[in-house]
Amino acid sequence: MSDLKSSVQSQFDRVAANYRTSTVHAQGTEFGEMVRMAALRGDERVLDAGCGAGHTAMHFAPYVAQVVAMDFTPSMLGQVAQLAAEKGFANIETQLGDVEHLPFDDDHFDLIVSRYSAHHWPHPQQAVTEFRRVLKPGGQVLLADVVGFDDPTCDTFLNAVELLRDPSHVRDFTPSEWIAFFQKEGFAAEIAYEWRLFIDFPSWVERMATPPLHVDAIRSLLHGASSEIRAAMKIEGDDFWFRCAVVKSVIRDA
């Protein structure tokens, strides 16, 4: 296991319960949009890749036959099981696994969903290659995440703040980067939905148990940000907004 992947497990093992109760992770307009754009029949087998505490799985479970909630961190899967029991969903199962080496046969799923996970993936192209392998002909991926900026100044600032808060962070990839990843593997890809996510600074750093030294460093960056960065991230005091998007990708050669 790489040092980076070990860091992901270590970070989220300690704070898994915070993500089950987090309003940011449990709520969002993107859930309804993702369910709508999936155009579900009701008999689908769905993979929630990098499921975290399982909120995306919970939103799809009422409309499909089965959801496999997969995560790299065992304690997160415990949160999924608890949440599914609380909500009475019997069609959600958990699976320990790595998005870059999926533990499933070829042509296994109709749909893959992922939300607020992909910025932890060290090799996103490999993950997309695996998505293509385990999807049935005509399958699709709905990937929702914080996205980066095409402007290098804003993009560097965003990812510096993210890394200080969470050392397991890899990158908030830009929309154009995600489209390129999917197109390389034979998907037709588009940005299907965009939104802004308000970040309440105290709860944001508390949820990840960010060390005080890093909290101070993030505040220093935010307070010293240029007017260009302040406008792009809507920085007000310690609070700011993330730019987010759903990338919809459908296998092109179905």
Question: What value does the mean pLDDT take over residues 30-42?
Answer: 97
For the packed helices 212-223 and 152-165, what is the interaxial angle rounded to 10 degrees?
Answer: 160
Burial class of residue 248, CB neighbours in 10 A (0-12, 13-18, 19+): buried
Q: How confident is the model at residue 253 (pLDDT cuts 50, 70, 90)?
A: confident
Q: Residue 4: its pLDDT value, please?
A: 56
Asked if residue 189 lies in contact with residue 195, where contact means CB atoms within 8 angstroms, the answer is no
Asked if residue 246 lies in contact with residue 192, where contact means CB atoms within 8 angstroms, the answer is yes
CATH number of residue 38's parent domain? 3.40.50.150
Q: Residue 162 falls within a domain, yes or no?
A: no
Q: Residue 232 falls within a domain, yes or no?
A: no
Question: What value does the mean pLDDT take over residues 89-94?
Answer: 97
| Structure tokens belonging to residue 140 | 């699709």
The DSSP letter of residue 234 is: T
Structural domain for 9, as ranges: 3-147+168-198+243-251
The DSSP letter of residue 100 is: T
Q: Residue 175 falls within a domain, yes or no?
A: yes
Q: How confident is the model at residue 96 (pLDDT cuts 50, 70, 90)?
A: very high
Q: Residue 138 falls within a domain, yes or no?
A: yes
Q: Residue 60 falls within a domain, yes or no?
A: yes
Q: Residue 114: its pLDDT value, please?
A: 98
Q: Residue 99 falls within a domain, yes or no?
A: yes
Q: Residue 73: its pLDDT value, please?
A: 87
Asked if residue 240 lies in contact with residue 221, where contact means CB atoms within 8 angstroms, the answer is no
Q: Residue 190: its pLDDT value, please?
A: 98
Q: Percentage of the chain surpassing pLDDT 70?
A: 89
Asked if residue 244 lies in contact with residue 196, where contact means CB atoms within 8 angstroms, the answer is yes
Q: pLDDT per residue over 235-245, tens digit each?
A: 999 999 999 99
Q: Do you know the residue count of the chain?
A: 254
- Look at the chain and report how many structural domains it folds into: 1
Q: Residue 123: its pLDDT value, please?
A: 96
> If you search the block for the tokens 């939103």, which residue do you land on?
59
How far, in Å, CA of 187 to CA of 252, rounded? 5
pTM of the model: 0.91
Residue 227: is its pLDDT beyond 80? yes
Q: Residue 26: its pLDDT value, please?
A: 66
Question: What value does the mean pLDDT take over residues 95-104?
Answer: 97
Q: Residue 16: its pLDDT value, please?
A: 47
Q: Residue 205 falls within a domain, yes or no?
A: no
| Structure tokens belonging to residue 158 | 């965003």
Phi, psi torsion values for 189, nearest 5 degrees = -125, 145
Residue 162: is its pLDDT beyond 80? yes
Residue 94: is its pLDDT beyond 90? yes
Question: What value does the mean pLDDT take over residues 142-158?
Answer: 98
How far, in Å, CA of 6 to CA of 4, rounded? 5
Among 142, 132, 156, CA closest to 50: 142
Q: Residue 119 falls within a domain, yes or no?
A: yes
